[in-house]
Amino acid sequence: MMSARKTYHQEIDELRGDLLRMGKLVEKSIAESVQSLANKDTVLAEKVIAEDDEVDQLELDIEQRCLKLFALQQPMAGDLRVIGTALKIITDLERMADHATDIARITVRLEGQPLIKPLIDIPRMAEIAQAMIHIALAAYVKGDAEMAARMCRQDDEVDHLYSQIFRELLVIMMEDPRKITQATYLLFVAQYLERIADHATNLGEWIIYMVTGERKDLNA
């Protein structure tokens, strides 16, 4: 029996390790997608697009690990939430990676075009979103609901930056219709980053549920 429980706890530790690895890949994708846009680096953008397959594969691997734990270990309530939360987390992480890929594709579409404005707030949005993911996964590993709740509050800053970018790009489009196409693409980028932060907030909600058993809507 002791041997079985040891194996079970090793499986849980490996599950957490896989989640952290997936999170790091997603953080890297977000950073590199925005970097590719700021530097007009289509080679880096293509790299981000190609590496999305690795995130997708990790999602499948983690899902299989979770289902195996459900089937073979019959976890009790607390452990059940740990495994169930992992299944929710990987779905949000995969969607974040998809949005990073969307940003990289915009870099490719804008190849050869000078940027209509220096990118200041967009990289800041990306930095906050990456930090949110990092903190959320640390909260998952530690089982720290308060850390998860604090992380979710950073979404307000991302929303503020998105509103600011929206207003700036709207003014640019009104002043010079020739810039409408690129301004629209940049607006899409900001929107993808805002959605990434929303997915990070979802992580926080699931971690709070994992720890407390209570569902809270922090994405309002």
**What are 16-41's pLDDT values in tens digits?**
999 999 999 999 999 999 999 999 99
More confident of the two residues 192 and 65: 192
Answer yes or no: is pLDDT of 1 > 70: no
**What are 116-163's pLDDT values in tens digits?**
988 999 999 999 999 999 999 999 999 999 999 999 999 999 999 999
Q: Characterize 144-180 residue by residue with b for buried, 16 or more Cβ atoms within 10 angstroms of its Cβ, and e for exposed.
A: bbebbbebbebbeebeebbeebeebbeebbeeeeebe
Do 11 and 86 touch, CB atoms closer than 8 A? no
Answer yes or no: is pLDDT of 185 > 80: yes
∠ CA 208-132-187, nearest 5°, is 125
The domain locations on the chain are: 2-212
Give the dihedral of Cα atoms 134, 138, 139, 144; nearest 10 deg: -150
Q: What is the mean pLDDT of residues 85-110?
A: 97
Which CATH homologous superfamily contains domain 2-212? Phosphate transport system protein phou homolog 2; domain 2 (1.20.58.220)
Q: Write phi, then psi, for 115 (nearest 5 degrees).
A: -70, 140
Answer yes or no: is pLDDT of 2 > 60: no
